[in-house]
Amino acid sequence: MPTSLHHEWHGPEGAPVLILSSGLGGSTSYWAPNLPALTPHYRILAYDHRGTGRSERALPRADLPDAGMTDDLLQLMDETGTPSATIIGHAAGAMIAMALAARAPERVTGIVAINGWAKPDPHFLRCFAARLAILHGAGPEAFLRAQPIFLFPANWISAHTRELEAELPHQIAAFPGAAIVERRIAALAAFDITPVADRITAPVQVLVSEDDMLVPSDAGRRLAALLPNAELAALPWGGHAVNVTDPEGFAAAILPFLARVSQEP
C-alpha cells in the first residue's frame, strides 16, 4: 500500500538525486534555508515523515524498529522511481539514512549525517526526558516554546525571537499529538547502529556542531570513527539545527563532499 508520505521535488530533472530527511519535527519545511544552495546542482526529494507535517498521522505497529521510518523511506524511493540517492539526514534523518545504507547499500550513494550518533548518548537522553516531562506536565505549547532551547544557540534565539513567536501558532496547529512524539523519541533513544556499522559502505560525511545543545559533538566523532568510509566536518557554531542557523557555512561544508559523491560510479 502507498506510504502516504507527503513529498516534494525541487531542482532540475536529470540532476543527481538528493533526499532530505529531517529530524524529530519530520517536516520538509525544515530544509527551506538550504534549498537555494542545493537546487542549482541537484534534484531534491524532500518528504514529511509519517506522523508529521502533511503525511499520514497514524504510525505503524509499535514493535517495528525506528517506528517504521526506514521502511517508509525505502517505500517512498520505490514509489517515486528512485533506485538510489545521496541522503542528507538531520539527527533522526541521519539515523534513517544509516539504517537504510546498512540494509540496502545499493540504494544509498552517500550520506551527510548532521548532528547524528551511533548509539544513545546520556546527554541527549537527559534532554529528551526533560522535553517529555514538559510535554506531559505543561502541554504541547510549553513543549514547543522550549524546543528552540535545544535546537539553536542562545544569541540566535534572541535575534530571531519575533520569527519564532510568529511560527509558534502554526506549530501548535500542526502538532501531531503526544503519543506520536513519544513514539518518535523512543525510536531515537533506542537507535544503535554499532552492530551493523561495517555494512555501511557508502561515503558518509559526519557533520557536527561544537555548540550543539542536544547531541554532543563527541557523539558525532564516535560515529565517524565507527563507520568504515566516513569523514568528519566540524562547524564551530550553529547549534543542533546548524543548517538553519548558518545555511551558508553548512553549504560550504557539504557541497564539496556532495560533488565528490555524485561523481563516483
Q: Which domains does the chain have, with CATH numbers?
A: 7-263 (3.40.50.1820)
Rounded mean pLDDT, 89-103: 97
CB atoms within 10 A of CB 14: 7
Residue percentage of the chain with pLDDT more than 70: 95
Q: What pLDDT, on the 0 to 100 scale, is given for residue 65?
A: 66
For residue 43, what are the β-bridge partners? Answer: 17
Q: Which residue has the higher pLDDT, 262 or 118?
A: 118
Q: What pLDDT, on the 0 to 100 scale, is given for residue 1?
A: 45
| DSSP label at residue 67 | G
CB atoms within 10 A of CB 103: 15
Rounded mean pLDDT, 67-78: 92
Q: Is the pLDDT of residue 265 over 80?
A: no
DSSP E strand stretches across the chain: 7-10, 17-21, 43-47, 85-90, 108-114, 204-209, 230-235
Whole-prediction pTM value?
0.96
Rounded mean pLDDT, 53-79: 81
Residue partners of 207: CB distance under 8 A and separation at least 6: 112, 113, 114, 115, 220, 232, 233, 234, 235, 242, 250, 253, 254
The overall average pLDDT reported for the chain is 94
Rounded mean pLDDT, 79-101: 97
